[in-house]
Amino acid sequence: MSSKAASAAAKAAAAKFPARFARQSAQPSLKPSIRPSQAPPPKKLGKPASWPTWKRVLYTGVFAAVTFMGTIYGAGLKTQKEWKEEKQKIQEATPEEKISVLQQRRKNLERQKHELDVKLMELQKRMMAEGAKTDDGERS
């Protein structure tokens, strides 16, 4: 066969068959024979199956509630332990130590009373000054 006859035969064969069968070589192709639009989507590795939204919300809420309650419970235990230690320390204290603690508390209370007395006097002075201003303003 001449080259013209071979090319004519190839054209005739190409017209009879679909385009994907027209140029097949003797070696197998490394590309898949399925078109990308026909191929199933690739599987994503490492991602678990999707849970329903209500389950995710439920598990998140439960986890947060357990964490919160554990924190509160732990803080309560710590506070109780500190109270017991302080109570035991007070019970084991000698009378002299108890007296010194009470005297210290008295000093703190007297200091607070003095601060409140000063604030009360300043407030009374301001009220009297404002009362005098309103009386002067009404007379004019």
Q: What is the distance between the alpha carbons of residues 49 and 83, in angstroms, rounded to a whole number?
A: 50
Each domain of the chain, given as residue ranges in start order, spans: 52-92, 94-132
d(CA 29, CA 2): 29
> HSE on the CB side for 43, CA within 13 Å?
4
For residue 127, CA distances in Å to 54, 76, 85, 124, 137 come to: 62, 46, 49, 5, 15
Q: What pTM did the predictor assign?
A: 0.36
Q: Tens-digit pLDDT profile for the chain (140 aa)?
A: 566 776 777 777 666 655 555 555 555 555 556 565 666 666 666 656 677 889 999 999 999 999 999 999 999 999 999 999 989 988 888 889 889 989 999 999 999 999 999 999 999 999 999 988 887 766 54
